Amino acid sequence: MKVEQSINIDQLDYSVIWNVWSIANIAFSLILSILTISVMFSCIDIYRLTQKLDDPFVDCLKLFQRREYVIGTIIISLLQTLLIFLWTLLLIIPGIIKSISYSQAIYIYRDQLDAGNKIKYRDAITQSRMLMTNHKMEYFLLQLSFIGYWFLTFITGGLAGLWTMPYYQLTMANYYVNLTK
């Protein structure tokens, strides 16, 4: 006796598909964030004239040259997210102010490692907060100047991001370098 089973579309469990999609989306976002930070490190080095572009693809993967860079980037990003979330619980405005204050922590951490100084993750965030003292409004206005670019990227379904993201990354690298002069 042969039993046939048929699948009814109404009986499919979409939660499994949704969970797999969510995990893939989180993993992709994490990898893309790490690659973006790696490109930022290269932009800072190029702006400071400490790096030549002999092999641009390999040079842009600078983050992976030292294990401390990757681990520090991930941990500092998680700490920033947690602290900004806690400040945002108070109100939105303190969360925005603290996100601006903590914005340079990864770059400070990397510069300290390159200088041969051991720095704690929390100290990088503290130094970023001190560095951004009296510069929060200028950083906020700099971010606001990119609203048109983000809108253009959204309208074109991300296609304009091929042009706007490098410009944004170079601008942020130049801002950090000028801030630390």
- Determine the pLDDT at residue 165: 86
User: Please, are residues 104 and 61 in contact by the beta-carbon 8 Å criterion?
Assistant: no
CA–CA gap between residue 39 and residue 57 (Å, rounded): 10
- Determine the pLDDT at residue 134: 93
H-type alpha helices, 14-116: 14-47, 56-59, 67-90, 92-101, 105-114
**Low pLDDT (below 50) residues in the chain:** none
pTM reported for the whole predicted model? 0.77
Tens of pLDDT, residues 3-48:
555 555 555 566 666 677 788 888 888 788 778 888 788 778 777 7
